[in-house]
A and B are shown apart, each in its own frame.
Chain A
Amino acid sequence: MEQFIDAHYFHLPSQGSIYTLTVLNLANGSKKLLVASLKREIFCFEYLESPKNYLIPTTKEVSFTYIPSGAEIISIDAFNKSSTKNEFVIGITIIKNSNESDQLETFLNIYSEWEESNDFNIENIAQNCLNVLLNFIPYKLLHTYLITWNDNDIVSKEIVFVLSGSDHQVHVYRENASDHEYKEIDKDFFPEFIKTPSPVIAIDIYHTEDFKERITAYACECGYVKLTRTSTQTNKLIYNFFTRFNNYISSLCIYPEKNITNQFHKKDLDTEKPEKPHLNLLVTNSILPAVLFRNVLKYGLSDFSTLPRHNHTSILTCCEVANVNFDGEPEILIGNSSQEVMLYKYKEKRWYIQDLRKFSSPIINIRYSDITGDGLKELVVFSMKGVHILQHDFKMVEKVLADKIDKLTIPQIK
């Protein structure tokens, strides 16, 4: 992966986990990273710009309140309630190790801003905490929409926290604005999470059909993977598929195959909605090869292919689907415990490892996101020791951009 250049690295005093990296998408389009480490430290990373247009990486430790000393952070997630302004809600799950008894106390701490504002001040958010006492060990924390319908109109589209736990269940927490607290809601809203055989490790949720349907995929500790299609109007399962891998699954990801245009419409820079999404599901097994299920809406889990491995001693820990070489086709990035990020490319009807990049410690998470705010996305690699930010090689990007503009402007000869 020569096209990536080390831009920055920041060190964490203690190790993070596959659940402790999240991206804050600010209303003005800029992005920040929020990274938590096991021993309570949480860092907010952003890029500032110097007068000479140099990027100044800035890492700030944020002291979130109600995380007692000795507590350990399991997972973290954040979302913006407002679409036009900043109204962030940050969820952090912790284990409190109380010495008096052998009992472990676990909490979901939810931090939020008092009201929406144009400014983003993480220090304020960190001081405003709501506690939810949990009676299980928390696992993955994510957020999704809870949609209320009235016939064919969306009444409300609330964002709720989804948290999987050691009690083999998936819990959904919804804000009760009047009481100013978060309450677990009834399991009926998310029927796909009923009867999971073991703790759920990874969940991904994708909404289709103008939010009328929800595609949920999740993986359990025992290797059970389930894919469901749920109607958000009736909260009934439309269908479900499941399969079982005989190993721990580290992550999974639902992604749409993109409709790429070769037209340039200046008017609508917002991508048009594809009529019929073509969804793929990528399951990253820890020991077995990663498996890609194609077009799951049409074929369920029957059309699959495996992604080859180049060694069989490492553990695959995370995946990201992104178009890192700008050809319009998605590539798959998988991180592993032998300190590598593998780049998979689809060519001639099979996936193969196109490239490898070594890092200085085992990889636990990967994101491909525009942290610098220049339109070009960066690769964020979260390793056991810290966070690496990799920028694209500008020379290569300039060439790609010039080629694309030529394609759009020079009339094609048929």
Chain B
Amino acid sequence: MRAISLVNRIEFEFTGNVVRNALCLGDIDNDGCIELIIGNETGDIAIFKGKDKVQVISKHTLICCVAVGDILNQNKNSLVVITADGWCYIYEVPTKDLSESNNEDFDEVDGQMHSSSNTDAPASSSESTNTQKSTKNVESPDKMQVVCIHVQRIPANVKNILLGDIDGDGAVEMVLGLTDRVVRSYKWMGNTHKPANLTEANLPIEPTDKLLGKFVAMNKWECANQIGSITLHHTWDGLPSLLIAQPGGTFMRIKCFTDDISAQPSVNSDLSNSNSSQGESGIPGSVDYQFLGLTRMRNQNISTEILGDFKNSHRKDSGKGKPYAVATLDGTIMLVQDEVILWAFAVDHQIFALTKLDITGNGSDDIVACCWDGQTYILDQDKNVISFPLDEPVQAFESGYYHLKGNDEPVTCFVYVTFKNTIILYYDIPIKDIMCKKFEPNVEKLSELFIEEKGSKENAEEHIKSLDKKTRKELVEYLLYNVKS
């Protein structure tokens, strides 16, 4: 197996234990740059931007999940923090940064354009346009500070979070997995009388007031076993489903279309037949278990991670769903497509984190799986592997993109939370190809050397092709190292 060592890294100091889902990469200040957010057992949340720690929020209890997403459905990101004792916090950077990012997007376009584009967004109003205008160019994005805008009581013992559009209605929902085998989904309901858009002037004094709105519970599903992880997956025609990892490399699939989506005839006639019946009967969604050939192998109690929606630029077989990955703690990584295991790869380390990242930049997502001892595996969708040994135990892992400097392109990164009170962020992972090859000289070019001797181009090419490996190797070596350029 090919292995690499990584050099480019940043170390951040961060004390305290971090649970598996209490870190994420996301753009919380909506300036187009991705930050790292991490929370610990004692309730501190730190936000890292570039090479700096920009903000620490403390006085929480054990932080079990952090996530960044457009949960308020305002076309801008917020930070959702869940504590183990059942509090859900929403943090946001006050609007002035939104105005800046919009300025970047629209460049020379004036406020008129803004207002027309923003009126479509549910959250904004004509007032918001005014605030945007007035706060233009006020502050540099470096001084980003998030403020709490909402606090809500939710059931305790959350372990997983997922922000995403699970029912295909175009709005982002929050899905929580709990340690008591329950999965709940919530939807943000904005207050109709809420004060325009959030600015520093009209910050809610008490976030618990629910001035802006509140999360409304939508669904509750109970799993048979402990939840490993939750992921959002889309079928080939774009219908979302939730995949809940269950022990033993199995998972539960929840389809939760809203009525109007599943009833739409335009989606696809042959598949919507089954779904439309559910839609009409008013039951939102269906649940099924997938065992993925469980009986053949695997300890049935081994905890499992799942990750859906793998991009693939090569496979063009329409009618098939996107692949998804399943990993078990005993070291099996599987790539599955339409409930058929494409391949399985076994390692002798305990995999606890499964992420995806297009590390080579070829348009296809690669699997990045991290083990408790720091061993990290990078697999492409053709089962080619690279390993990276961190040589240090890891308590949480994430891969993704990160911005080192504001205006730069985002770079690939691996984030490791170690047990030594440090976060190690490896950036700009230098992998262009997953597999290495021998150097193959261009036969046509090489044959030019022999045209004179062999008479014709064809003969010369034939001559090169007929050379045995050793002679060709010596020829290449001679040309490269002994001939003047």
Interface contacts beyond A394-B439, A405-B448: sample of 6 additional A-B pairs, CB < 8 Å, sorted by A? A53-B437, A55-B437, A271-B482, A376-B477, A404-B485, A409-B451
16 contacts between A and B (CB under 8 A): A10-B3, A11-B3, A55-B438, A264-B449, A370-B473, A373-B438, A375-B473, A376-B477, A386-B5, A391-B439, A397-B480, A401-B446, A405-B445, A407-B484, A408-B483, A409-B451
A54-B437, A376-B439, A400-B480 known; A359+B5 contact, CB < 8 A: yes
Q: For window 228-274 of chain A, which residues contact chain B by CB distance below 8 Å?
A: 258, 260-262, 264, 266, 269, 271
- Please determine whether B478 and A269 come into contact, CB atoms closer than 8 angstroms: yes
Contact with B along A351-378 (1 / 0, CB 8 A): 0000000111000000000101111110
Question: Which A residues are CB-close (under 8 A) to B315?
Answer: none
Q: Counting CB contacts under 8 A, is A346 at the interface?
A: no
Give how many A residues have a beta carbon under 8 Å from the other chain's beta carbons: 56
Question: Which A residues are CB-close (under 8 A) to B449?
Answer: 264, 266, 405, 408-409
Question: Which A residues are CB-close (under 8 A) to B451?
Answer: 409
Distance A57 CA – B2 CA, assembled complex (angstroms)? 6
Q: Counting CB contacts under 8 A, is A5 at the interface?
A: yes
Q: Counting CB contacts under 8 A, is B453 at the interface?
A: yes
Distance A280 CA – B363 CA, assembled complex (angstroms)? 50
Q: Counting CB contacts under 8 A, is B314 at the interface?
A: no
- Please determine whether A407 and B439 come into contact, CB atoms closer than 8 angstroms: no
B347 to chain A minimum Cβ distance, whole angstroms, is 15
Contact with A along B435-456 (1 / 0, CB 8 A): 1111111100110111101000
Q: Counting CB contacts under 8 A, is B297 at the interface?
A: no
Q: Counting CB contacts under 8 A, is A8 at the interface?
A: yes
Q: Counting CB contacts under 8 A, is A149 at the interface?
A: no
A326-B480, A404-B485, A408-B449 known; A269+B474 contact, CB < 8 A: yes
Where the two chains meet, the residues of B that have a C-beta atom closer than 8 Å to any C-beta of A are 1-8, 384, 389, 391, 430-432, 435-442, 445-446, 448-451, 453, 470, 472-485
- Please determine whether B445 and A9 come into contact, CB atoms closer than 8 angstroms: no
B205 to chain A minimum Cβ distance, whole angstroms, is 50
Distance A400 CA – B476 CA, assembled complex (angstroms)? 11
A365 to chain B minimum Cβ distance, whole angstroms, is 16
Q: Counting CB contacts under 8 A, is A49 at the interface?
A: yes
- Please determine whether A269 and B5 come into contact, CB atoms closer than 8 angstroms: no
- Please determine whether B5 and A260 come into contact, CB atoms closer than 8 angstroms: no
Q: Counting CB contacts under 8 A, is A214 at the interface?
A: no
B350 to chain A minimum Cβ distance, whole angstroms, is 18
Question: Which B residues are CB-close (under 8 A) to A339?
Answer: 7
Where the two chains meet, the residues of A that have a C-beta atom closer than 8 Å to any C-beta of B are 5-11, 28-29, 49, 53-57, 258, 260-262, 264, 266, 269, 271, 323, 326-328, 339, 358-360, 370, 372-377, 385-386, 388, 391-392, 394, 397-398, 400-409
Give the A-B pair count, Cβ closer than 8 A: 147
A360-B6, A374-B439 known; A407+B483 contact, CB < 8 A: yes
- Please determine whether B480 and A269 come into contact, CB atoms closer than 8 angstroms: no
Distance A104 CA – B126 CA, assembled complex (angstroms)? 86
Distance A56 CA – B385 CA, assembled complex (angstroms)? 11
- Please determine whether B5 and A360 come into contact, CB atoms closer than 8 angstroms: yes
A11-B3, A55-B435, A55-B437 known; A404+B480 contact, CB < 8 A: yes
- Please determine whether B2 and A8 come into contact, CB atoms closer than 8 angstroms: yes
Closest to A10 in B: B3
B40 to chain A minimum Cβ distance, whole angstroms, is 27
Distance A394 CA – B448 CA, assembled complex (angstroms)? 20
Question: Which B residues are CB-close (under 8 A) to A407?
Answer: 483-485
Distance A271 CA – B477 CA, assembled complex (angstroms)? 11
A31 to chain B minimum Cβ distance, whole angstroms, is 11
Question: Which B residues are CB-close (under 8 A) to A56?
Answer: 2
- Please determine whether B5 and A388 come into contact, CB atoms closer than 8 angstroms: yes
Distance A402 CA – B4 CA, assembled complex (angstroms)? 30
- Please determine whether A262 and B483 come into contact, CB atoms closer than 8 angstroms: yes
- Please determine whether B476 and A375 come into contact, CB atoms closer than 8 angstroms: yes
A7-B2, A54-B384 known; A360+B480 contact, CB < 8 A: no
Distance A55 CA – B436 CA, assembled complex (angstroms)? 5
A6-B430, A391-B436, A401-B480 known; A57+B3 contact, CB < 8 A: yes
Distance A376 CA – B442 CA, assembled complex (angstroms)? 14
- Identify B474's interface contact among A6, A11, A375, CB under 8 A: A375
Question: Which A residues are CB-close (under 8 A) to B474?
Answer: 29, 269, 375
A28-B470, A55-B438, A375-B439 known; A404+B479 contact, CB < 8 A: yes
Question: Which B residues are CB-close (under 8 A) to A323?
Answer: 481
- Identify A261's interface contact among B7, B480, B483, CB under 8 A: B483
- Please determine whether B4 and A403 come into contact, CB atoms closer than 8 angstroms: no
Closest to B7 in A: A358
A43 to chain B minimum Cβ distance, whole angstroms, is 13
Distance A372 CA – B473 CA, assembled complex (angstroms)? 11
Distance A339 CA – B8 CA, assembled complex (angstroms)? 12
B182 to chain A minimum Cβ distance, whole angstroms, is 43
A400 to chain B minimum Cβ distance, whole angstroms, is 6
